Structure 1
Amino acid sequence: MVFLAAAISSLFASSAWAQQSTDTASTTPAAATPGKRSEQIETVTVTAQKRKEDASKVPLSISVMTGEDLVGRHITDVGDITRSIPNISNSGASGTGAGLSNIEIRGVSSAAGSATVGMYMDDVSLTTRNLYSLGSAEPKLFDLDRIEVLRGPQGTLYGASSMGGTIKFITNQPNLNERENNVYSEVSSTKGGGTNYTANGVFNFPLIKDELALRIGLQKGRDSGYIDQVSPTTGKVVASGINSQDSSVARLALKWVPMTGLVITPSVFYQDVKSDDIDASYTDLPKNQTNKIVREPGKDRLLVPSLTVNYDLGSADLVSVSSYFKRNFDRTQDGTVVNSSYIGSLITTPPGLGDLVSGLPSAVYLNNEIKQFSQEIRVASKPYDPKGGSPITWLGGVYYSNLFTTVVDNEPVFGINQAFNAAGVNIADPSQLGSAFPGDNSYFSARHYHTTQKAVFGEASYYFSPALQATVGARYLRASDSLVRDGDFFFAGGPQHSEASSDFKAFTPKFAISWQVDPNNTLYATAAQGFRLGGQNRAIPTSVCAADFHNLNLSEAPLSFGPDKLWSYEVGSKSRLMGNRLSVNLAAFYIDWNKLQQDITLPGCGFDFETNVGKAKSYGAEVEIKAKPTANLLLSFSGGYTNATLASDVPSLGAKSGDQIQGVPKYNASLAATYNFSITEDTYGFARAGVHWVGSSHGSLIHTDPDYVRPSYSTVDASVGATFGSWEVSLFAKNLLNNDKVIQRPNVQSVSEGYRLRPLTVGLSLSGKL
């Protein structure tokens, strides 16, 4: 890392620049401020510790992408983010596409239990438990001021599930003084696909100057599909581009300042994403083809209303955040292989009936609903004043949440009753399947989770001097989690009803020390604990899974599993050098994780359950470097290395100590450059390019699994464009070299699928202010 920093520093050798600090924050893109450009790297203000701070002074590893970065680099989804920021990755939950990814940071990866990464829109939690039927909520990157990625446990301020870190989507707030009319549009084409488009408008209205303002944003988009459906018998294409996606987003926010020191901000965010199919092909077919019998569409809707109140108490600031989060995700999977083929294999008479049933189409209908109300109230002291005042700063608060999660699963085998009737046999006869299939349904399950949390939290910092501070924080949490589950029909072993509940409590401390060596160089060290709630399992029919239980030396599946915890230790430095033309952020970490929550699959009967198994450890480092050799050239490099392994044998997973944790690349890195230049007196051009590398990982603990080794890969993005007046036009390409390597090969519903990057996409964008 030192050699890399030194190499970049050599670019500046021709000039002698005095070191200096800067307090100003800027979120204005270079392309929007033609003419004389700043020779310094902009300073970004963040709220990672729930107060406004210079990101270069926050004692934790944090990456920030401004809204202008997102637009200028054409970053549109979670996949783009994970390739651009160190030590963050994502894996498909049960397919790939909108709303199906699980996100990991620093090797803290688990597809069971609660999430390991906290997801927030402003101060509203979008975090959900890990479920087979859905992934993390993915708000569209629209009208954002910035994205903050906080690496390492954030349990003190953000609670359970922020074990690996926290991602915050920070929206633009209404402007009380200026009217804004911003528009953006782009159209592009994907190789092997079709035409894509995005159009949005953001309008800000100061209704009463300095007192009341309204901000409205609308976006509509479509991504063409590039996966073709072929006939399973002839191999001919029956439908092209089946994985297309349509999205609609709306955001409304009102800022009201009824009196000095009081700011009231109600807002609502709504998003509707309709996917015609998942972004997966079958690995035994030509590239980007699938011969599924049942299409796999999805509809994912987010609704996030909130009310934020800020009040200046004089010596402290009070913040109240009341919020509601609702997500409905309805999707279909092709269950033909796992349902129809299995049932057909059980039928021996009359001749031919088993083969007929094996070929019947079967669907898995999954209806997911998440509803959460949360309330947080916190009070924070004023920032430390080195010229006088108290050497202690503090923050304290209380938090409450009430979360309901429902998953309904119906799995019809279309035509199975008709097939048995035509054969002249009774499907419910004990000599046959011994079960009725009402409406052709082979399985029904309804799981109702209810989780409540109550917490009190706080942090205090003591300044031994203006340059040296120590911080102590803690969160005390009490929670309850319950599951009511009803099941029926063939695969459930008949009518079933089960109920289970557990109570949890946790105390999660944090310690940090920060030394500002000089105004431009900061060293820090932290130790923090992360925590996840435990949970409940559905009852699994022993009549169907007896052999699997016997192999695991179990009589039945456990009805609950406990919490897991980890300790994370981090040291780092943040430097702004050479007159603020070079910034270098370095961090190294070690994580000790106990009682991992993991999913245990029963291969014979197709069920699974969650339990606590073994230990794990993870260690690694991150580096982020930005340099401005000239006012018109910005260079950036970021990279991360993670070695995350099991620290004990786990026989139930067939895993041994030293095995790599699933879904965690060994490294990722990104190199980017932006160059601005003059074309005419009032027209300015720019060129941008970025290269992203993602290291190899393991998608399974089983060495014979096709997804055991996920290969390393790279991708290149580039754009050129110009600004004229208040308008900007850009020609861009994503996946410029059209990398089509299969990067994941998960087994979903007993079918080996292949995930690739979206093929080469070339487009034109136009943005401006009206």
Structure 2
Amino acid sequence: MRPGSSNLTCAIAVAAATSTLLLATASAQQLAADAPETKKSAKQSDQIEAVLVTAQKRKEDASKVPLSISVISGEELQAAHINNFADVTRAMPNISFSGASGSGAGLSNIEIRGISSAAGSATVGVYLDDVSMTTRNLYSMGSSEPKFFDIDRIEVLRGPQGTLYGASSMGGTIKFISNQPNLKEREASVYSEVSGTKGGGTNYTVNGVVNQPLIPGELALRIGIQTGHESGYIDQVSPTTGNVIASGINAQDSSVVKLAMKWQPTRNLSITPSVFYQEVNSKDIDASYLDLPKNQTSKLVREPGNDRLLVPSLTVNYDLGQADLISVSSFYQRTFNRTQDGTTVNNLGSAVPDTPPGLAAAIGALPSAVYLQNQVRQFSQEFRVTSKPYDQKVSPFTWLGGVYYANLHTNVTDNEPIFGLNATYAAFGANPADPSQLGIAFPNDNSYFSERHYRTEQKALFGELNYYFVPTVHGTVGLRYLQATDSLSRNGDDYWNGGPTSSSVSSSSSKLTPKFSLIWEVDPNNTVYTSATEGFRLGGNTRPIPASLCASDFANLGISEAPTSFKSDKLWSYELGNKSRLLGNRLSVNASVFYIQWDGLQQDIALPGCGFDYETNVGKAKSYGAEFEIKGKPTSNILLGLSGGYTKATLSSDVPSLKAHAGDPIQGVPKYNVSLTGQYSFNLTGDYYGFARAAAHWTGSSHGTLVATDPDYQRPAYSTVDASVGATFDRWELTLFVKNATNSDKVIQRPNVQSVSEGYRIAPRTIGISLAGKI
């Protein structure tokens, strides 16, 4: 039976059982606790809490940092049931996501303030604490997506962050800040959630975190474990009969383990080793065929994926007296193996001479897969020295300086078999290696093989100097000097490669990126700032394209061969903003405007005739707009939030290779997005209180590609509504929630997956129940 309303019944039943078990466990552990916790009270603060961030690699009040920052705390993530990148982008101004390789975990690219490109190096830096997880844009995988588990907060830093975060942070940086070990107190928490998706099945998430001081005040261990399942809601149907072959094929399972230890042998020294491991198994992508009923696909080959992240790191902090020395040693590894349906792109029917009769049609009907094995490995080391916070009695200067080294290896292996190809030839008494046929063999039915190895090495010096003209006015000058080498070696074979080939190419580059900012603290509650910052991303190398297969495409572009490398692109960003706390800190208003000039865009040029593509630099672009975030507490029990952004990102010059012109919109950039949130807390009985939350998000129209004839060119505006009600009692919080309450099913993206245009919709309405508690 396909779950519908029965999902909710099942969800509530399972949650009730889980709740009983957790409550029993909690009762037993509470008796053994050294001291009882203070019970939660319905009394709420009538002021908006201050937010501390590490955007400038030192802990500061977000309202005093001269750049546009959005922050979502771990508590807010859990309360709003935000559990993926798509949810985050809808909740924050001027950040968006898109996926050219299909929609699903680990396949999307992130854009900030209109700086969007699916080719070349990444435009947004992604960090887990101080560890970079930023990799180049590849059609075979998107950005790393750590699960939002045991997270203190997510910081989104808009605008170029090249001085402190290096190349690829030209649009901005996203930082996932983990909860750190607590040396003083034992902490333990659990969270369970069960829900049902309309047209899908039952979903669940369960996690637990324990923080245990081993030597109080000196040594502590923090351990967290999470497991989860998301049901699928897309059905696979027969392409001939339309009957359902498999239901909910886009289901997903995940598991996460986090370990961290903090050792503070002296007051001045702390050493924190940590390990983060995550595995996500996707049964298929979240896209369906648009010529079929909603949420159905008739693909011949399923498209599963296995995405694993491993991030061990060692952070050392040493207080030098006048400054702090920080060392971050890290290793980042991502292994992403996935399958695509290559039936359309690998169709050989038209290439096969029709002798004997019927052979071409039989081969054209064969299914084909694209097996992609991606591995990213990076070692990095950063040393930085940071002055103490500003003290007008000590010095008018604060400063930061450091060195950075990274060695990044990216491997992509691509095998594309056409299942039953040799057997079909044999059944017709033919041989593909026969000169009267194709004149080439297909070992193990394989039609294409490619193995690419990218290696990028970076060395950088960086620093910032902050001078206080008076205690309320200070300016910052920052510089980063980077040297990088990039190489690509490739081996290829089989029919679509034009036979065996081998190539190797390398390049080197260097870049000095400056930053200037000025901030005026008009009074303790109002700050105005302005900045001018340069951002860039590294150039690189691209695979050679077989001229024998793509000659007609080259002729259409007016070239004889495809380039094998692309250069760095750069931009200048200018920003003006304010951060205010008003009405006795019951109202906060952050607003900013920006203007960006972008030169030498790294873009992907498709060759439709032969199915290949290449990366190159094309033209100029500009982006301008504004964003705002408002929070208000009209009473101590009501918290309201309103945020929004507007971005106009267009080409500034013609791009003949894409048939694009000056004024055409940059891909993946919504014109606007707006988010409205509200929470009301109220007394129940005794120390119990209830709450109701709601959130509405509007995302404006955008263009998924620069190519006007592509089905994904025009993306519509859409909206979502989420809501929840619940109660807090003692150490526990029980919540009933709904996501996509209106069950919006608009097709919001049409990703091109191996030459097939598919449709991506928001996940259908999901209703569930969650229980969170401290034990």
TM range (shorter): over 0.9
Query: 1:89 and 2:77 equivalent?
Result: no
Aligned-partner SS, 1:517: strand
Aligned partner of 1:613 in structure 2 is 618
Determine which of 736, 747, 759 is the counterpart of 1:754: 759
| Amino acid in structure 2 at the alignment position of 1:224 | S
Looking at structure 1, the residues matched to 516 and 207 of structure 2 have their Cα atoms a distance apart, in angstroms, of: 44
Deviation sequence 1:656-682 (CA, Å, 0-9, x none)? 000000010000110000000001011
Residue 32 (structure 1) shift: 8.6
CA distance in 1, matches of 2:202, 2:425: 46
Candidates 573, 583, 591, aligned match of 1:586: 591
Alpha-carbon distance in 2 for matches of 1:147, 1:440:
47
Deviations 1:197-236 (A, max 9, x none): 0000000000000000000000000000000000000000
Tell me the distance in 1 between the aligned counterparts of 2:417 and 2:57. Answer: 49
Is the 1:93–1:134 contact (alpha carbons within 8 Å) kept by the matching residues of 2? no
2:320 matched residue in structure 1: 313
Measured at CA, do residues 32 and 574 of structure 1 come closer, stay the same or move farther in structure 2, by a change above 3 Å? Answer: farther
Matched, 1:529 2:534: yes
Q: How does 1:64-79 map to 2 (within 5 A)?
A: 64-79=71-86
Residue pairs, 1:151-550, within 5 angstroms: 151-340=158-347, 342-386=348-392, 388-550=393-555
Contact 2:73 2:153 in 1 (8 A): yes
Per the alignment, residue 134 of structure 1 pairs with: 141
| SS at structure 2 position matched to 1:156 | helix
Query: Counterparts of 1:703 and 1:153 in 2: how far apart (Å)?
Result: 29
Give 1:421 shift: 1.1
CA distance in 1, matches of 2:492, 2:351: 23
Indicate the SS of the match to 2:276. Answer: strand
Corresponding residue for residue 19 of structure 1: none
Shift of 1:35: 3.0
Q: Distance in 2 between the 1:583 and 1:33 partners?
A: 26
- The one-character-per-residue Cα deviations of 1:411-448 (angstroms, maximum 9, x if unpaired) are 00001101111111220122211211000000000000
- Taking structure 1 as reference, are residues 32 and 584 closer, same or farther at Cα in structure 2, changes over 3 Å only? farther
Q: Give the conservation status (yes or no) of the 8 Å contact 1:345–1:358.
A: no
> Residues of 2 paired with 1:86 and 1:533: CA distance?
27
Task: Give the Å deviation of 1:33.
Answer: 4.2
- Runs (5+) with no aligned partner, structure 1: 1-30
* Structure 1 CA distance for aligned equivalents of residues 224 and 489 of structure 2: 40
Name the SS of the counterpart of 1:325 in structure 2: strand
Q: Name the amino acid aligned to 2:360.
A: G
In the alignment, the residues of structure 2 paired with residue 343 and residue 400 of structure 1 have an alpha-carbon distance, to the nearest angstrom, of 50
Q: Could you tell me which amino acid in structure 2 is paired with residue 665 of structure 1? A: P
Do 2:318 and 2:324's aligned partners in 1 also have CA atoms closer than 8 Å? yes
Question: Does the 8 A contact of 1:540 with 1:607 survive in 2?
Answer: yes
For 1:7-26, what aligned pairs fall within 5 Å after superposition?
A: none
Output the amino acid matched with 2:366: L
Pick one of 548, 553, 562 that aligns with 1:557: 562
Counterpart CA distance in 2 for 1:159 and 1:343 is 48
Rounded to whole Å, the distance in 2 between the matches of 1:700 and 1:539 is: 24
2:647 pairs with one of 639, 642, 645:
642
2:356 maps to amino acid: P
1: CA distance between counterparts of 2:353 and 2:202? Answer: 47
Name the counterpart of 1:22.
Answer: none
Partners of 1:32 and 1:710 in 2: how far apart? 49
The separation in 2 between residues aligned to 1:646 and 1:735, in whole angstroms, is 34
Q: CA deviation at 1:343?
A: 4.1
Q: Is the 8 A contact 2:102 2:752 kept in 1?
A: no
Distance 1:670 1:449 in 2: 40
Deviation at 1:706, TM superposition (A): 1.5
Cα distance in structure 2, aligned partners of 1:537 and 1:599: 10
Deviations 1:442-495 (A, max 9, x none): 000000000000000000000011100000001000000000000000000000
Question: Hey, what does 1:7 align to over in structure 2?
Answer: none
Find out whether 1:50 has 2:63 as its counterpart: no
For residues 706 and 441 of structure 1, the distance between their equivalents in structure 2, rounded to whole angstroms, comes to 30
SS in 1 for 2:344: helix
Could you tell me how far apart the structure 2 residues matched to 1:599 and 1:702 are?
11
Cα-to-partner distance string for 1:118-138 (whole Å, 9 max, x where unaligned)? 000000000000001000000
Query: Could you tell me which residue of structure 1 aligns to residue 666 of structure 2?
Result: 661
- TM superposition shift of 1:345: 4.5
Map Cα deviations across residues 535-585 of structure 1 (whole Å, 9 max, x no partner): 101111100001111111111111111000000000000000010000000
User: RMSD across aligned C-alpha pairs, in angstroms?
Assistant: 0.9
Deviation by residue 1:20-65 (Cα, 9 ceiling, x = unmatched): xxxxxxxxxxx99423211000001000000000001100000000
Distance, in Å, in 2 between the alignment partners of 1:731 and 1:546 is 60
**Other-structure match for 2:720:** 715
Aligned equivalent of 2:110:
103
1:93 positional shift: 3.3
Q: Deviations over 1:234-281 (max 9, x none)?
A: 000010000000000000000000111101000000000000000000
Distance 1:677 1:266 in 2: 42
Percent identity for Structure 1 against Structure 2: 71
Which moved further from structure 2: 423-432 or 751-760? 423-432
**2-structure distance, mates of 1:714, 1:36:** 34
Q: Distance in 2 between matches of 1:349 and 1:263?
A: 75
Please state how far the C-alpha of 1:705 moved relative to its aligned partner. 1.9
For 2:388, give the aligned amino acid: K
Residue deviations 1:91-136, cap 9 Å, x none? Answer: 0130111100000000000011110000000000000000010000
- The 3-state SS of whatever aligns with 1:393 is strand
C-alpha distance in structure 1 between counterparts of 2:234 and 2:666, whole Å: 30
Find the aligned partners of 2:322 and 2:514 in 1 and give their Cα distance: 26
* Residues 158-180 of structure 1, C-alpha deviations (whole Å, 9 max, x = no match): 00000000000000000001111
- Could you tell which deviates more after superposition, 55-64 or 746-755? 746-755
What is the aligned counterpart of 1:40 among 26, 39, 47?
Answer: 47
Q: CA deviation at 1:752?
A: 1.5
SS of equivalent to 2:345: helix
Amino acid in structure 1 at the alignment position of 2:268: G
Which segment is superposed worse, 550-559 or 608-617? 550-559
State the secondary structure of the residue aligned to 1:251: strand
Amino acid of the residue matched to residue 445 of structure 1? Answer: S
Q: TM-score, normalised by structure 1?
A: 0.95
Give, in whole Å, the separation in 2 of the partners of 1:707 and 1:346: 32
Residue 322 of structure 1 aligns with an amino acid whose one-letter code is S
Matched, 1:113 2:120: yes
Q: Which amino acid aligns with 1:607?
A: F
Greater shift, 432-441 or 701-710, is seen at: 701-710
| Pairwise CA distance, 1:746 | 2.1
Q: 2:32 matched to which residue of 1?
A: none
Q: TM-score, normalised by structure 2?
A: 0.95
Deviates further, 418-427 or 223-232 = 418-427
Work out whether residues 100 and 752 of structure 2, in 8 Å CA contact, stay in contact via their aligned partners in 1: no
User: Residue type matched to 1:533 in 2?
Assistant: L
Please give the alpha-carbon distance, in whole angstroms, between the structure 1 residues aligned to 2:353 and 2:654.
40
Structure-2 separation of matches of 1:34 and 1:501 = 63
Aligned-partner residue type, residue 381 of structure 1: S
Paired AA for residue 150 in structure 1: L
Gaps of 5+ in 2: 1-37
Contact 2:279 2:307 in 1 (8 A): yes
